[in-house]
Structure 1
């Protein structure tokens, strides 16, 4: 009877493992990093409010004074927007035509200079966020029926896209009405070719890392990015392809882990720690995220937005500095890195970055299991949690 009971338990465990074989195997294949890695990811910079110049200069100074054990300064990515509406010109057409105010305009000289200064100092890593933080035809269509959008579109000063209704901030769908409508692949390809060329004209090299506005994009966008030279795509671990009837990102058609590859070729990275000091996030949130990702053998990509450093600059800078110093104190061997560097290391299985020893890989794999939907619950109910715990981890 004891043998039968044992056999039944083993069969049950095998059934649970088989049911989750795909996600379990994917997390085993996902590279395990040898050291804690931290990247501060910040979106929406570039064309927009002129106050960005001062905010960027202050951020650069702060980041240069915080260094990892190798002496490298903290790195913040800048998700760059290359144009905002030219309000007076649009107003002159009564919102019948869209006109752009590009980042190359002399009004943005101080903003561009602050970006370039931070790049030279090694603390800013530019990324392509989009030509604009919206789809212009959708904005014009919405402006016909929505006075607030019309006022925003025709404002005399460079606009802050954070003030747009959230659905309209998605670039790669037409969200002028909900649920959103898909753009044609030809329109997407042409738009990305244009923004990649404009990016290169501004910064002297083609963009290599891209992050979709509001994390809404699709296969056609990935293919066009790949054609434009993009090597890494920043994701939240899943891909939304529409704005649903409620205006929320929806139509999720894919999930991804760090180091996996798009069908078009670029590598995926996952940004899933959120740190918005202006919304009340405490510095400990950043350090806690780093510790959790380090246990999983993953890099900690921290999402923070421009609005923090424009709406509450002093408090946000103080919180960022405190969070970075707490991260260094909790993980003394922490490495600051840029996403492209991380993507290359994972793709090439660089032994200076990627763990090859069995025991650390097994520990990281066990730490990743809780995130698999329903696996933890079933492993506890079946008793599988016990042997996993005996291996030294948690299920």
Structure 2
């Protein structure tokens, strides 16, 4: 008798509820309150109640513990709770954890959540603050003394090498920024609703860390987002069309660090996303041509181009031309550049809307949607589908 392979989990669980707070720069309430609001909204969307929930998954960076959230949201007994590390790289992996719990019978209804006051509270973009001694802190000690203190400075190293290798200028990144803001301008939930930009606006924005301009960097947001996962069988009896989880993967590359993997042989790609891509294509039995919409983690524009290349949508160095040609609907909610920076969880929600047919920038007949999590760090990805098999 052979053991069931992990890659046979596809289609056994589905996302049945999504919910979020408003996206702002000053929420005026605690991160716990944001989390509770998002979870309640997601459960309402799913046609479920707190009493139905028996599993919770969040990020190690989240300040709202699973048990505290359960108490505040009126959730009863829990049979499963888990956390994923590495910042935005955790987003899709929270759903993967939920799938594993549901498919194995450990839990029946699992809520994945993320809530923070990232603009009015702790601002990740402000750089490394005081850290207690740790292995992670020691690793950062190789870079911090030389002024590499912020995520933008870490990404700029790889971005500069990418431009040099392929003979490009920083204008190559502008297509990603313009695309995200175009979609955000039509999205009432987006912070930049009604405010599109042009390539000229991108080129005129101030330098943050060369070759990154202001419009290459995602915004900072206060807010919360929650995702409800249950079995495909139970999903059929719920009010919303399910977004079946066709594939889910995590990935870390060789010589992987947290956004400072500068000792690799090549800085022009994202090997950790390549690990995810290979798993997703194999386990879903799909190819780039089968994807109708891509929701790619866009904390910084260069890494969107590299993701397109890692997934095989285009060749190395061809990402900018691919985006400029509108060859694939990309970040139809506006992304983290245009809608909100929720560590990628709002991207998963947009993928669900695409499958349901309710996105404000709907791709006609979207059947398969790719979603990715944070880049430059150990990461994760999903393929959501209308049907499976």
TM > 0.5 fold call: no
- Kindly name which structure, 1 or 2, has the bigger radius of gyration based on alpha carbons: 1
The higher-RCO structure (CA 8 Å, 6+ apart) is 2
TM interval, shorter chain, is under 0.3
